[in-house]
Each structure stands twice: as C-alpha cells, then as structure tokens.
Amino acid sequence: MTNLNTVDAAAVAQDAHLESADAVIAKSTIIFRRFMRNKTAVAGLAIFLALTLFSFVGGFFTPWNKETIDPFNIGMPPSGDHFLGTSQAGIDLYAMTVEGTRISILIGLIVGLVSVLIAAVYGCTMAYFGGKVDKVMLFVLEALIMMPALLVVAVATSGGGDTLKKNLPSWLLLIIVLLVFSWMGTARLIRSLSMSLMQRDFVKAAQYMGVPPRRIVWRHLVPNIGSLLVLDVTRGVTGAILAEVAFSFIGIGIKLPDVSLGVLIGGATSQVQTFPWMFWVPLTVMFLLTGSLAMMNDGLRDAFDPSSSSVGRAKKKSGQRTGK
Amino acid sequence: MLRYLAKRGITYVFMIFLTTSAGYFLAVSSLKPALLEQERIPRPTPEQVANSMRLKGLDPDLSPWERYVEWLTAIVTRWDWGRSPNGAFINAEFGERVWISTRLFLAAIILTLVIGVALGVYSAARQYKFQDRVITSYSYLAYIVPAPIAYFLVQLGAININETVGKRIFFVTGISTPGMAAGWAQFVDMLAHYAVPTIAITLVGWGSYQIAQRQYLLDNVNADFVRTARAKGLTRNQAISRHALRVSFIPVAQSIAFTIPAIFAGGFFAEKIFAWPGVGSWSIDAISLQDVNAATATLAYGSVIFAIGAILADFATTLVDPRVRVQ
C-alpha cells in the first residue's frame, strides 16, 4: 500500500500504457474508475454539481431577488412572471430557493469538511499519545457528546443581548455551533482505528527515526484512514444540511432575513393547504440535495473499500493487489 | 461487575455536573428574563422587575458566579432546581413533563429497536434479493429526510386519512381529549392520540438500525466460526441466529447509547409538531422565555439520559459478548 504511493508518476503512466498483466495502476485512478463505474454515484455527483451551479448562477435567470416585493402577485401559484410562484408577502419563490440552496450547500460543505478535519486531528492525537492525554481528551469528547446540541444552538442563535449575535449573520453562527457539536462521533471512530495503526511497523520506524509527533500524525496516520475520512465528509455534509433544515424548521437556527431551505420549508408548513408550492418546491430541492449525496456516498464507499466486490477490470489488470 | 458499574457511574455523575455547570453559565450569561418582563402592560419599573426577580431567586444584579453558587447550593441541600420567571417551580413542572415525554418515547424507542434489528437480520439473510433491496432502500430514504419533516409528512397523511374517511380516527396533536369518561372510551381515545406520534417516530427511526445490523451481520456471516457451526451440522439459519447474530449485535448495542440521546433530541421536534407538552418542547420554550433554570434543568436531563444509555450499552455488550470481561 505504501509502496504504491511512492511509485513515480512516469512509471505509473508507462505501466498503464503497456497494459501488461502486472501493470500497476495508481490508486487514485482505480478509485476514480470504480467511482465512475457506479452509475448511481455518478448521477448523484451530477445532480449535486448541477444544484451547486444552480445556486450560484440561478439568480441571473430571474429579474426578482429575495428582497423585492411584487405587490401585484401576492401568494400567486407558479406563472410566467414568477417561475415558482410567490410567497404570502409577494416575494419570488425562485429567487428565495436559489438563495436558500446556496446557504444550505455552504453550511453543509463547511461543516462537513471542517468537522472531519477536526475529528481526524483530534482522534489521531488521542491515539498517538495515549495514556493520560488520551484519557483527558476522551473525557472532553464525551462531555461534549453529552451536551444536547439543540439547546446550545437555541441559546446561541436566540440569546438576548449577545454581542456575538449582532456581529455575525445567523448562518455563520449556526455553522460555528454545528461545527462544535458535529465532530465527536467521527473522532471516536478515528481514535480506535488509529490505535491499531499505531502498532504498525512504519509508525514505529518513524518514531525511532525521530520524526516529530505532529508529522507522524499528519504524514502516517491521516493518510491511512483517508478512505474513512472521505466517507465521513459526504456523511457530514448530509448531516449538516439535515441539521440546518431541522433546526430552522422549528424556528431556531437561521433567522430571517437570511434564507435557507429549512427556513423556507418551516415557514410554509402552516400553509400547505393554501400555498402548496411554497412547501413542496424547497422540499424537493432538499431531497435532491441530500439524495444526491446519499447516492454518492454508496459509490464512494465502493470505490474506497479495499475489499470491494465491484472490482471490474481495474483489479484484473493490476496483477499486484493494490490497496490492502 | 457492580464495582465497574459504580466506577462508570461516578465518572458520569462528574461529567453531568460539568456539562450542567457549563450549560448554566451559558444560559445565565445569555438569557435575560428581565428584558421580557419589561414588555408587560402596564410596564413595570426596573426596580419592580428586579424585585420580583429577586423574590424568585433570579436576581439580575448578581454576577453569574454568585448566582451559580446560590443555584448549586439550593440543588445540593434541598434538591430545589429554582423557579421560572413566571413563578412556576421547576421541580413540579419537570416531574409532570418528564412523565409525558417518557410515555411518548418509550413505546417508540422499543418499536424502533426491535423492528430495526429484526429487519436488519431479515434483509442480511436475503442479501440482494428483492426484499432486501426494498427494505434497505427505504432505510436510506429515511436517512435523508430530516426528522421534523418526516413527522410533519406523517401528520399530513393522518389528516388526509381523517378527511377521506370523514371521521376523526387519529388525533394529530395533543395527548388526550379533556373531559373523557374513564374506561373503554378513554383507552380508545388514548390509542388515537398515541398512534400518530409513535408511528411517525418509529418509521423514521428504524432505518439506521436496519442498515447497521445488516452491515455487521453480513460482515460475520462468512466468518470462520459460522462455517464451523455449519460443519457441526447446524442449518444456515441456526448458525446465523446462534453464532453470527450475537457477535454482530455488539456494535449495534454500542450505538444504542448514542441514539437514545438522539431520540431525545429528535423528541424536541416530535413534541413540537405533535404538541405534546413534554421536556423537549419545554426546553425550547424555556429559551424563548429566557428561563435560565428550566433550560439548565432540561440540559441536565439530557445528560442523565445519555449517561443511562452509555451504561446500558456497556451492560448489553458484556451480556452478548463472551469475550468482554469487565473489571
């Protein structure tokens, strides 16, 4: 596994070109091919990218924005003027959906990526040092798991007279709180995985060579649990999007005038009968978003799983078994 | 075993103390009940507000530390969790609401666990068959729907059923109809109120257990010890249920510890949407009413639930896993 990473690019290219029986294919190529073979996962990726694109350029296709009130079209169903209809206050739903999708994706990506990063560093540090450090850090971790995140979100986003609240938009505040409470489960998992890695020879060798701990964690532990981390990123993104929707749905979390999918869905629940489009449009977008991530998740797991049964041609070609 | 449990118990009590204290400081420094008092009509003077707050032990002039010491002494010496800004006693209100929450979630938690694990085993034994595909895709679907929205959709469905039948079969909000005579009618009324929330929570909840149980069982079905069991003459089902199932249940049992607080957190949403006045909806209301003591009490309750879940998980692990010996 480690040999493969050190094979220089030219040799890999040459080997792949030769397509001989024992050709070595770079691990990233295999992962990429496996991922591309999974049609569901590719479709998921396409939907996700399309939604992201939509959230950034979608605003240019409509003359309305989320602040303009159209007094002639209040609470109108979808029509030529307003693609997706207007809200009770006469605001174009399409413009709000574009804005809400962007905020939701932003929250998901930031929380998903950063929380996995925190979890990786924290978990590896615990496993590397062990002993007292491990005990203390585990204690902190469990204490954080114990705190009901929802209460803290509610206090942080609605507490009166908070100076923090005035300086930050509510979505940024939500990101911070979600970050603080989202990394513990992954960190625990990473800790147990790294603990078994610590027994491996290459870590011991590095220790005897006098490589500083920080570099061992970063260079030897983190890359070896990489596949798990990639999976946890997509799962974390889904989790953060769902958490945002859930919190905003019951009226804590993101506050108007900031718009997110959760705010749109939550605001429309009381009027499902009268303004059904206000409820179903953001809900569909949310399903597309979380659904596309779930579809990718499955393909990613197959692609990164060393014992995957969906090996196809890539495995046959590489005589040497890649991956562990 | 008992010594081990006692040791874990002490650690958790310490942890609960820490989280509750941290929660108290967070609440006391960001929640200002006096601001809400001033919106009353006729508008009270600041002195009147401060005075009424002081009488309830919520003196806004004291520093957070002084209030913390006062609050903690009351709990330790008298088991008195303080009062709300409107004068209600936390102890009394908590006792009432915790019972409502427990009634709401107990049936749902048990159903979720049993259905999830059973379906996981069923689908693992029929991997990639039609039944497995249907069950597992449903679980993935449940995974991408946020809990409150799923509850809301179930509620909408129940309303639709009521409308099509033209009679009120399910009650979608509340715990019971007031003024119902005791006996059979009351029992039917209770069932009608319980049905929708319980079904909603169960439908959303079992997916993660099903996926986990299926995954772990599949990891073990081809293990050596299962093959040995088959070689000894057990049928495939016997080998799975006696040998593979036990081992594969261990990680699931571990995850229960983390899902009990999750169900509690999901409980906020369920209680809000189905209008059950339990602990979860109380904690949200406490924050919007700037009620420091109530918010802290619900937080402490959450921590206790987590500790119980964690200890139960340890206990379950030792029960099913012969390799684990606790000291």
**Under 8 Å between Cβ of B62 and B23:** no
CB B320 within 8 A of CB B242: no
d(CA A155, CA B23): 10
pLDDT category, A255, cuts 50, 70, 90? confident
pLDDT value of residue A324: 35
Return mean pLDDT, chain B. 81
State residue A188's pLDDT score.
82
Tell me, letter by letter, the H, E, C secondary structure of B205-230. Answer: HHHHHHHHHHHHHHHHHCCHHHHHHH
- pLDDT tens by residue, B48-100: 777 777 777 777 777 788 888 888 888 888 888 888 877 778 888 888 888 88
DSSP state of A244: H
**Could you tell me how far CA A171 lies from the centroid of its own chain?**
16
Is B304 in CB contact (< 8 Å) with chain A? no
Torsion angle of alpha carbons A45, A51, A55, A57, nearest 10°?
A: 90
Other C-beta atoms closer than 10 Å to the C-beta of B275 total: 13
Chain A closest CA to B294's CA: distance in Å?
11
Can you give the pLDDT at residue A20?
Answer: 46
pLDDT score of A114: 92
SS3 label, residue B27:
helix
> Are B124 and B191 spatial neighbours (Cβ–Cβ below 8 Å)?
no
Model confidence, pTM: 0.77
A318: confidence class by pLDDT, cuts 50, 70, 90: very low
Q: Is B159 exposed, middle or buried, given 0-12, 13-18 or 19+ CB atoms closer than 10 A?
A: middle
Q: CA torsion sign, A73 to A78 to A82 to A86? A: positive
Contacts of A150 in chain B (CB under 8 A): 265, 268, 283
B34 touches A: beta carbon within 8 Å: no
Give the largest CA-CA distance in chain B: 85
| Chain A interface disruption, residue of B218, B268, B296, most A CBs within 10 A | B268
- Residue A159 at interface with chain B, using a CB cutoff of 8 Å: yes
Q: How do the domains of chain A map onto residue ranges?
A: 49-305
Average pLDDT on B292-297 reads 85
Strand partners, B83: B89
Please report the number of interchain residue pairs, chain A to chain B, with beta-carbon separation below 8 angstroms.
111
Whether residue A306 has pLDDT greater than 70: no
Distance between CA atoms of A237 and A253, rounded to whole angstroms?
A: 17
Q: Tally Cβ neighbours within 10 Å of residue B110.
A: 11
- In this prediction, residue A305 has a pLDDT band, given cuts at 50, 70 and 90, of low
pLDDT the model gives residue B263: 66
pLDDT at A166: 59
**A176-180, A298-302, B160-164, B265-269: lowest mean pLDDT where?**
B265-269
Tokens 């049609």 sit on residue? A39
pLDDT value, residue A3: 44
- How much is the mean pLDDT over chain A? 76
Residues in contact with B212: Cβ distance below 8 Å, sequence separation at least 6, in sequence order: B120, B251, B252, B255
What tokens does B323 get?
Answer: 């390799």
Using the structure block, give the residue that is written with the tokens 């990218």.
A49
Q: Given an 8 Å threshold on Cβ–Cβ distance, is B302 in contact with A151? A: yes
Q: Span A42-55, mean pLDDT?
A: 90
Chain A contact set for B148 (CB, 8 A): 245-246, 249-250
| CA neighbor of A213 nearest in space, from A129, A140, A271 | A129
Q: CA A191, CA A287: separation in Å to the nearest integer?
A: 33
Distance of CA A270 to the CA centre of its chain: 30
CB–CB of B27 and A155 under 8 A? Answer: yes
More confident residue, A292 or B256: A292
Whether residue A252 is predicted with pLDDT greater than 80 in this model: the reply is no
Interface test with B, best of A142, A144, A147 (most B CBs within 10 A): A147
Q: What is the DSSP string of A249-283?
A: HTT-SS-TTS--HHHHHHHHGGGTTT-HHHHHHHH
Round to whole Å and give the CA distance between A132 and A152.
Answer: 29
Mean pLDDT over A261-286 rounds to 81
Q: Which pLDDT does position B327 carry in this prediction?
A: 45
Residues of chain B with CATH 1.10.3720.10: 97-321
Residue from the list B31, B35, B310 with its beta carbon closest to the beta carbon of A155: B31
Which candidate from A143, A185, A252 shows the least CB-CB separation from B19?
Answer: A143
> Of residues B300 and A78, which shows the higher confidence score?
B300
3-state secondary structure A35-102: HHHCHHHHHHHHHHHHHHHHHHHHHHHCCCCCCCECCCCCCCCCCCCCCCCECCCCEEHHHHHHHHHH
**A293 in contact with chain B, both atoms CB, cutoff 8 A:** yes
pLDDT at A49: 92
CB contact under 8 A, B265 and A252: no
Q: Can you give the pLDDT at residue B326?
A: 52
**Are A152 and B269 an interchain contact pair (Cβ–Cβ within 8 Å)?**
no
Nearest to A155 among B19, B26, B152 (CB): B26
Q: Which CATH superfamily is domain B97-321 in?
A: MetI-like (1.10.3720.10)
Nearest one of B35, B112, B1, B74 to B296, comparing CA atoms = B74
Q: What percent of chain B has pLDDT over 70?
A: 93
B142 shares contact with chain A (CB less than 8 Å): no
CB atoms within 10 A of CB A285: 21
The pLDDT assigned to A309 comes to: 52
pLDDT for the residue numbered A6: 46
> Between A142, A158, A161, which is nearest B287 by CB?
A158
Phi-psi region of B291 (alpha: psi -120 to 50; beta: other; left: phi over 0): beta
Tell me which of 3.40.47.10, 1.10.1750.10, 1.10.3720.10, 3.30.2320.50 is the CATH number of domain A49-305: 1.10.3720.10
* pLDDT-based confidence at residue A110 (cuts at 50, 70, 90): very high
Cα distances (Å, whole numbers) of residue B41 to B37, B38, B44, B56, B285: 9, 8, 8, 20, 21
Sorting pLDDT into bands at 50, 70 and 90, what band is B129? Answer: confident
Q: Does B73 touch chain A if contact means CB atoms closer than 8 Å?
A: no
Whose CA is closest to B197, among B261, B141, B277?
Answer: B277
Q: Give me the residues of A, 268-287, that contact B with CB < 8 A.
A: 269, 272, 283, 286-287
Name chain A contacts of B306, Cβ cutoff 8 Å.
145-146
* Pairwise CB contact (< 8 Å): A249 & B269: yes
Identify any residues that bridge with A91 across adjacent strands, giving them in sequence order: A69
With a CB cutoff of 8 Å and minimum separation 6, the contacts of B216 are B248, B249, B250, B251, B252
User: Which residues in chain B touch residue A252, judged by CB atoms under 8 angstroms apart?
Assistant: 284, 287
Which of A29-33, A140-144, B262-266 shows the lowest per-residue confidence on average (mean pLDDT)? B262-266
Contact assessment for residue B98 and residue B279, using Cβ atoms and an 8 Å cutoff: yes
Instruction: Assess B209–A contact: CB distance below 8 Å, yes or no.
Output: no
A207, A216 Cβ separation under 8 angstroms = yes
Q: What is the distance between the alpha carbons of residues A182 and A309, in angstroms, rounded to a whole number?
A: 32
Residue B161 sits at the chain A interface (C-beta within 8 Å)? no
Question: What are the distances in angstroms from CA A226 to CA A73, A80, A217, A301, B10?
Answer: 52, 49, 12, 12, 37
Mutate to test the interface with B, among A47, A48, A151 (most CBs of B within 10 A): A151
Is B122 touching A (CB cutoff 8 A)? no
Q: How large is the angle between the packed helices A226-249 and A184-197, nearest 10 degrees?
A: 170
Residue A75 — pLDDT band, cuts 50, 70, 90? low
Q: B284, B288, B312: which is closest to B97 by C-alpha?
A: B284
pLDDT score at B264 = 64
ipTM score of complex: 0.74
